[in-house]
């Protein structure tokens, strides 16, 4: 569906239920970790093409103990493979949800900021025309753009040469 203005409401109660539910999911995953970007960059990534390789390797390792080096723990390999399989549908669903929330959050922020800039520009023009109350609002809102009016004034007052 193409993007159109979002006009929705999320009640405080529903937001609280969502947060409680996500906290419950998080509590069911006590083994999760946080990696730095540098740590992630050094790790091998298992994708769709790697899954058959990992599955075959596990099967061969289980069936051929004589070929398994002493420093490779096949039981741990099996646990890792099983947990990856269990987490895969959870991961995909959460990533889909996170992506949708990120897109929605971005679009809503853009809508709100665009509308606020429209209001700000109107207030700025009203303040220039000495509309009662506009100057105080403009002075408060222009703090969002520090130095901008100074640059404009400096550029306007600079000698032309």
Asked if residue 7 is part of any domain, the answer here is no
| Entry pTM | 0.75
**Domain annotation covers residue 68:** yes
CA distances from residue 87 to 11, 30, 121 in whole angstroms, order as listed: 30, 13, 49
Within a domain: residue 3?
no
Report if residue 1 sits inside a domain.
no
Range of the domain at 65: 12-157
- The string of pLDDT tens digits covering residues 58-80 is 999 999 999 999 999 999 999 99
Q: How many domains does the chain have?
A: 1
Q: Across all residues in the chain, what is the average pLDDT?
A: 92
Domain assignment present for 4: no
The gap from C-alpha 131 to its chain's centroid, in whole angstroms, comes to 42
């Amino acid at each position: 569906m193409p993007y159109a203005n979002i006009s929705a409401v999320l009640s405080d109660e529903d937001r609280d239920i969502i947060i409680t539910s996500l906290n419950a999911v998080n509590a069911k995953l006590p083994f999760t970790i946080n990696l730095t970007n540098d740590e992630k960059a050094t790790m091998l990534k298992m994708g769709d093409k790697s899954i058959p390789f990992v599955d075959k390797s596990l099967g061969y390792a289980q069936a051929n103990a004589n070929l398994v080096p002493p420093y490779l723990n096949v039981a741990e390999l099996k646990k890792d493979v099983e947990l990856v399989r269990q987490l895969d549908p959870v991961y995909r669903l959460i990533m889909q949800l996170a992506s949708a929330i990120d897109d929605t959050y971005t679009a809503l922020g853009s809508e709100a900021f665009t509308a606020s800039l429209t209001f700000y520009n109107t207030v700025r023009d009203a303040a220039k025309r000495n509309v009662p109350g506009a100057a105080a609002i403009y002075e408060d809102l222009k703090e969002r753009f520090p130095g901008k009016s100074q640059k404009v004034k400096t550029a306007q007052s600079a000698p032309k040469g």
